[in-house]
Chain A
Amino acid sequence: MTVWRALAGRGYLGSAWPWRAVAYLASGALFGAVVLVVIVSGAVAGGVLAVVLVGLPLLVLTALAGIPVAAVERRRLRLAGAGPMPPGQHRVPDRPGLAAWLVVRLGEAATWRELAYAVLLGVVLWPLDAAAVAGGAVLPLSMVAAPALVAVDGEAKVAKLWLVDSWPGAFAVAGLGLVLLAAGAYALGAVAGARAELARALLAGKDSDRVTELVRSRVRLVDAFEAERRRIERDLHDGAQQRVVALTMTLGLARLDAPPGRLADQLATAHREAERALAELRELIHGIHPKVLTDYGLEAAVADAADRSPVPVDVDLELPERLPRPVESAAYFVVCEALANVARHSGAGRAEVSGGYGDGRLVLRVRDDGRGGADARGGTGLTGLADRVSVLDGRLSLSSPPGGPTLLRVEIPCRPSPMEDPCG
């Protein structure tokens, strides 16, 4: 429900809406006046003192004034019945601390847009709010009060212009005041609604900001996901795997000492199971995040994936140095998925992985001589990988005419990165 919608309905005058409209505009007028004083004094004092440097922090503070002003204005919107408003599109600083916060705030468009709104509020909007309240509420009320004033003072001055000193005149003015009060209630509702829409439009920010923030958060999610996979791999590798190796060794030794019979048979079974668990654990760890990718990079990991493929794979891939980890991971898992699809669906007798790095981008191609007809949307697992690649601003394309050949191409812009902290 907004004040505008209420205007169209019946019973507006008897509802809380006229009061809310007045409250919205009156508080806007008050708040705007305060904002004007704060911004002007901040800017003037900061500008004067800037010569001796102490003014600079004051100027910075003034520049940031839009942020709390916008927050208050967003809250005030509720008075006008505007629906819930998302908070400002301020980014969360990557690092803790005041310096990082300041850098982010001063560098983003939202801060300056909110400052602009605060200035507009202080210079233009609040006088308009005040004028609307004066015209729509104060004037009619003073007219309604005319008989009381005449009774007390013997005369009443309506709007400081119009002197009334007779009872009939006073009651006529009061009657007119009542009519004007009703009309004013509608007018105030309309003005408050317009004012709220304006504030909303100015404070909502652009979609592009939100998109940028969404993209950023998506990248952060993928990074976190990636780090988590590596952590799980490391924990399994250093923990569970070592323990199961020790277990198989102990069982192997126990078998040597066991006299032939049921115990020896049971030990043999336990030993076999432990070895199977170990083999499965090794495959599992490899699937989560292969060590060879962490240690040796994409080139070696792709060669390793090719070695594991049941379909013979030729690899022709040369990379100058290590690439950023998210890029290596995304590219590696695309190749793995592509090779798995080759083995599962294509009926190919041969596949080839080729590619390299040039012009600031990594390009990988996976080609097979199978029957083609592959569909990236057909739940082949490539959709998820395409998403992952797109987070890195990369592209994944698939060409697979019926009858083949199938060519999958992935392209990711990146810069070679020196070896990062292996524990990161």
Chain B
Amino acid sequence: MPALAHGRPLRIVLAEDSVLLREGLIGLLTRFGHEVVAAVGDADALLAAVAEHGPDAVVTDVRMPPALQDEGLRAAVRLRAERPGLPVLVLSQYVQRAYAAELLDSGDGTGVGYLLKDRVGQVEEFVSALAEVAAGGTVVDPEVVRQLLRRRRDPLARLTPREREVLALVAEGKSNGAIARTLVVTEAAVGKHIGSILTKLDLPPADDTHRRVLAVLAFLRA
């Protein structure tokens, strides 16, 4: 397993309605040095806890009482509108592209993540995804990415298969170095691919992080 960055210790507000999972997640986050300042079971309590504690990051389930639909996502989108820059990681029990797109469209698309709940089993990767989000990155679940890749629609049609692979890894929040390791190529080659992707997607020259986020958004909206 490659060494993954676990980032700095974070003060986290956790929203998850299943007691079993909530306790498990608290244990997991604590194990990696984070502090769960509040663990709540519904969306209203989440909004209140964030207002009270002003955490470094929020981890929330999509589905929560009372209606067990997308209350968690609604709360996450609202939090991002009210508190730009608050990193939010949303966990979903199933892939729903509409969720991912809505979430990434909120705020400026930075400091946000959308993962399948299954990923918490990969504890280290989960914690590093959280660190990535907390550091302002964008993380999208590989499963979402895989579904999007099947569609092969413009503007992504212009990308070569290799470039799509690279873009998928970018969407997962991986750095150039991590992408190079995954694809077993040099970091310079990854940089070249990314440059080509950004050009093909007509993304304006700006600072690199922002353009990467825009590329991911283009990818999601495709």
List the interface of chain A (C-beta within 8 A of B): 237-238, 241-243, 245-246, 248-253, 255-256, 271, 274-275, 278-279, 282, 285-286, 290-292, 295-296, 300, 303-304, 306-310, 312-313, 422-423
- Complexed CA–CA distance, A238 and B152 (Å): 34
Knowing A241-B93, A304-B96, A422-B69, the reply to whether A250 touches B150 (Cβ < 8 A) is no
Interface string of B151-178 (1 = CB under 8 A from A): 1110000000000000000000000000
The stretch from B25-33, B52-60, B75-83, B195-203 touching chain A is B25-33
Q: Are B96 and A248 in contact (CB under 8 A)?
A: no
Q: Are A249 and B148 in contact (CB under 8 A)?
A: no
For residue B153, which residues in chain A have a CB less than 8 angstroms away from its CB? 312
Flag whether B18 is at the interface (Cβ < 8 A).
yes
- Complexed CA–CA distance, A286 and B96 (Å): 12
5 tightest A-B CB contacts, nearest first: A248-B121, A252-B123, A307-B147, A242-B18, A249-B24
Interface centre among A249, A251, A252, A312 (most CB of B within 10 A): A249
Interface residues on B, range: 20 to 34
Q: Are B94 and A250 in contact (CB under 8 A)?
A: no
Interface of A is mostly: helix
For residue A285, which residues in chain B have a CB less than 8 angstroms away from its CB? 94
- Complexed CA–CA distance, A300 and B99 (Å): 11
Flag whether B21 is at the interface (Cβ < 8 A).
yes
Flag whether B187 is at the interface (Cβ < 8 A).
no
Q: Are B97 and A303 in contact (CB under 8 A)?
A: yes
Q: Can you list 10 A-B contacts with CB-CB less than 8 angstroms, sorted by A residue number?
A: A242-B21, A249-B28, A252-B123, A279-B118, A282-B93, A295-B69, A296-B96, A309-B150, A312-B151, A423-B67
With beta carbons under 8 angstroms apart, the residue of A243, A274, A308 that contacts B20 is A243
Flag whether B68 is at the interface (Cβ < 8 A).
yes
Q: Are A275 and B97 in contact (CB under 8 A)?
A: no
For residue B70, which residues in chain A have a CB less than 8 angstroms away from its CB? 295
Knowing A256-B123, A307-B150, A310-B150, the reply to whether A292 touches B68 (Cβ < 8 A) is no
Interface residues of B in 27-54 (CB under 8 A from A): 27-28, 31
